């Protein structure tokens, strides 16, 4: 994940009031794997955002604060 300027062939998505810009190859991988889930992880030794392909859609929206639904 990086901050960058959108390129002509990038795809733009809005979700939860945020705009995401993704390269076409990442969009293809996300579609094939069943979606993208972005979680914030704070496990002491690692802290930051984690992108999971194949997350099955809306699992990151359950709001449990634990980085997943379950």
Confirm whether 15 is domain-assigned: yes
Q: What is the pLDDT of residue 42?
A: 92
Q: What is the pLDDT of residue 55?
A: 61
Number of folded domains in the chain?
1
The pTM is what?
0.49
Confirm whether 26 is domain-assigned: yes
Q: What is the pLDDT of residue 65?
A: 44
> Residue 20: which of 29, 10, 30, 32 has the closest Cα?
10
Rounded Cα distance between 28 and 49, Å, is 21
Q: Which domain holds residue 48?
A: 11-60
Confirm whether 2 is domain-assigned: no
Confirm whether 5 is domain-assigned: no
Tens of pLDDT, residue by residue over 18-66, are 788 888 888 888 788 887 788 889 988 888 888 787 765 444 444 444 4
Confirm whether 68 is domain-assigned: no
């Amino acid at each position: 994940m990086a901050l960058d300027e959108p390129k002509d062939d990038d795809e733009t998505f809005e979700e939860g009031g945020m705009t995401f810009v993704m390269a076409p190859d990442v969009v293809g991988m996300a579609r094939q794997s069943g979606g993208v889930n972005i979680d914030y992880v704070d496990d002491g030794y690692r802290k930051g955002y984690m992108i999971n392909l194949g997350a099955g859609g809306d699992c990151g929206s359950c709001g449990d604060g634990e980085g997943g639904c379950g």
